[in-house]
Amino acid sequence: MRKGLTIYVGFFIIMIVFAEFILPWLTESTLKACLTNSLTAHDVSVRLSSAPRFLVALGDIDRIEADAYRADWGDISVSELHLTGTEVKLDMPNLIKNGDVHFTSANELKLIGVITADDLRRTIEDKLTMLEDVQTNITPNLITATAKLTIFGRVAEVELKGLVALDRGSLSFRMTDLSVRNVLPGTLDMSSMFGNFDLIDKDALILGSRFTAVEMSDGKVTITAER
């Protein structure tokens, strides 16, 4: 009798440890791996909490906090991406079977991304492939990008000025001024070669969240999306 009771108590303790510690840890590890893959991020951390803890393994999350660095978001790689949320429902079968991170519901969600001048430089190089030696500078009021452009054997100096702003719910680079030096007059219509371009489409946001703030400061742009 005593031996059977000892086995029962031991089994009960193992189940508690498994449900309260191991299952939540496995869920966090799986979510971290999937986010790393889907965001092509260099470093990801995930913290999930629920009461009781085993609900995390069922996808019922009281609070989620996730941080990713050098993460792809839309058409730009952001230096930092931070997610917080409450009363979040995570599609666990889809996560485990396909590796897809899909939230089916949430009370609150908030995404904060940080775009540095170097992030923007790489995006300009990807979007405007004819430019070389791109350099960017971000101030609270203006973004300036300088580059070189080879036209019919001549190296022209290009200067783009603009803003990161919202356009119909999406995040875009909006050009406000274009200057091209050392090019023969009438050689090309420069205005047709450059212009606005998307950074993050509104469809890249989760659960119907929307951009609520864009703040430019020295060396970076901080963007916020909320639900």
Model confidence pLDDT, tens digit, residues 123-160: 999 998 889 999 999 999 999 999 998 877 788 899 99
Span of 29-43, 67-81, 207-221 with lowest mean pLDDT:
29-43
CB atoms within 10 A of CB 81: 23
Side-chain-side CA neighbours of residue 95 (13 Å): 23
* DSSP-assigned letter for residue 20: I
What does the domain layout of the chain look like in residue ranges?
2-106, 117-226
The whole-number average pLDDT for the span 103-110 is 91
- Which is more confident, 106 or 1? 106
> What's the pLDDT band for 12 if we cut at 50, 70, 90?
very low
Instruction: Encode pLDDT of 64-101 as tens digits.
Output: 999 999 999 999 999 999 999 999 998 888 887 888 88
| pTM reported for the whole predicted model | 0.85
Q: What are the Cα distances from residue 157, in Å, to 39, 149, 188?
A: 35, 6, 14
The whole-number average pLDDT for the span 45-74 is 90
